Amino acid sequence: MTEQITQIVAMRRGPGGWSLGAAVIAALVLLPILTVVWLALNPSQDIWHHLISTTLPRYLSNSVILMTAVGALSAVVGTVTAWLVTMYRFPGVRWLEWALLMPLAIPAYVGAYALVDFLEYAGPVQTGLRQVFGWHSARDYAFPEIRSRWAAVLVISAALYPYVYLLARAAFRELSAQSFDVARALGAGHVARFWRVGLPLARPAIAAGTAVVMMETVNDFGVVEYFGVQTLTTGIFTVWLEQGNAGGAAQIACVILTLVFVLVMLEKLSRRRSRFYALSRSESRPGRTLIRGGWGWLAFVLCTIPFAAGFVLPVAVLSGHAVGAADRWADPDLARATLHTLVTGGAAAVLTVGGALFLVYGVRLSGRVLPRFLMPATLVGYAAPGAVLGLGLLLPLAWFDNRVADLWLAITGTDPGLILTGSAAAIVLAYTVRFFAIAQGATDAAMGRVSPSLPMAARALGRTAGGALSAIYLPMMRGSLATALLLVFVDCVKELPATLLLRPFNYNTLATRVYEQASLERIGDAAPAALLVTFVGLTAVAILARANR
């Protein structure tokens, strides 16, 4: 009732600065997507028919195959491992429950560089095989092609399966023990209980995690570019940067957005009629069943394989290159890349969380339809790949920079240069749009937990809307806002496609330094930066583990 009264009062007072500001923030977040659509519909050089008859089918087929294969493999690995660590007791299960989250700390492109270094002709695997069997050259034996589409599937799946694992584990932990007791009484064994009870009840969570994995697969650039797999994302870079056709790149970007939209709709439709309710608050959760002997060790091996592939292998390979070379850690370029990463990531995190706080609070103060419609629309930024956002931001920012420079030149006679696109500001804005959904979700959830009566009492005592925010909401939301800041910062550190498109000349972050050095086959020089990115990612994993105890 108090929230309804607040909305009525706000409507009578008019839109106000808070709701107008919220609308402006929402419009800025949506600007890149709208720009991409406009460019696609109004290209300066229409090459759409040329794309359809030449490269677009290959881009599209590779992207769909990657999405499908990575989504399926990640769903199987994430679901099976979540079921094992939730429902059974076997050697190492307590440790594996959290270790299975660690591959989230490794960007997929880092895993790709490590895998190639480990399996290539001069790597330890093939070198060891030649020594053991007496082979002298590659003609003496057959070895699978490393830089291939299916290797990309394995690498990306190893990095992304924790999204499915995290949601599936939470769903399995919330299942009712009574359901399993009934299934057991009817003679259902371990496999039957999984197929007939656990999997159907956890399907919405598994579908949501798989959808996130598939969207992240579309966003990937580092892995597919390194392995020579031509996808829609690499097509944006090729058509725009190599052929100089922004309209054609925007048309490819719209294909990506269509794929993402279809994926989200399919995910929602797949669980539209799924409804599962708890019968009481006191329902007991299923206990873990002890697995003895060989079956227990088999469960241990099944859970260890994805952890080893997604975390142990990349860290071991990179550490082998980085530990014995102190001069690489003292490289001034590495120090500059670290500083740039801290500045851009920190600024983007503060701007993103601050903008999300302003947006959510402004929408809550407004009783109008438009702000409430715009808030969920801003979530599209997280679904849009970084390459799409980079394309959608660069052109309007360049237009703004040129107008400001012309005006300043006319007034003062001096040329200020490009203020936004000539600095790291464009990267910060791209990060803000890309990860705005993370900050908005955390802020909205935290603000929803504050009783409406508290800010109403503050307003009754003469506090303004800003005063109620600082005196009531912020102290009670401090922990959630700090978590959102850190999560956004970590995602900014790992972001590669948008950074590559928007960075100024000779401006590197840790992610772009890893990409540049690895592209030149200098894994040793890329290793320190990659390990720093991994260390930052482990911080986010620790937060997730703590939040999901």
Structure tokens at 60: 């599209």
Lowest mean pLDDT segment, chosen from 42-51, 68-77, 451-460, 476-485: 451-460
Q: Which residue's entry shows tokens 């106000």?
A: 16
How does residue 548 score in pLDDT terms, banded at 50, 70 and 90?
low
Architecture, CATH, for domain 55-272+287-315: Orthogonal Bundle (1.10)
How does residue 40 score in pLDDT terms, banded at 50, 70 and 90?
confident
Over residues 245-256, the pLDDT tens digits come to 888 888 888 888
> In this model, does residue 152 exceed pLDDT 90?
yes
DSSP class of 44: S
* Number of Cβ atoms within 10 Å of the Cβ of 326: 9
Q: Which of 257, 350, 245 is nearest to 30 (CA)?
A: 257
Lowest mean pLDDT segment, chosen from 107-121, 150-164, 256-270, 350-364: 256-270
> In this model, does residue 7 exceed pLDDT 50?
no
The b-or-e profile of 465-486 (16+ CB within 10 A means b, else e) is beebbeebbeeebeebbebbbb
Average pLDDT, the chain: 82
Q: Which residue's entry shows tokens 């009492």?
A: 457
Residue 89, H or E segment: strand 88-89
**Segment of 277-286, 304-313, 520-529 carrying the highest mean pLDDT:** 304-313
What pLDDT does residue 151 have? 92
Over residues 258-271, the pLDDT tens digits come to 888 887 777 667 65
Q: Is pLDDT larger for residue 157 or for residue 187?
A: 157
What pLDDT does residue 183 have? 61
Mean per-residue pLDDT, 92-114: 90
Partners of residue 88 on adjacent β-strands: 289
What pLDDT does residue 224 have? 92
Is the pTM here over 0.75, yes or no? Answer: yes
Mean per-residue pLDDT, 67-73: 95
Q: Is pLDDT larger for residue 303 or for residue 445?
A: 303
> In this model, does residue 281 exceed pLDDT 50?
no
Torsion of CA 200, 202, 203, 208, to 10 degrees: 180
Q: Is pLDDT larger for residue 420 or for residue 270?
A: 420
> In this model, does residue 471 exceed pLDDT 80?
no
Query: In whole angstroms, what is the distance from residue 525 CA to residue 516 CA?
Result: 10
Cα–Cα distances in Å, from 334 out to 315, 339, 514? 18, 9, 10
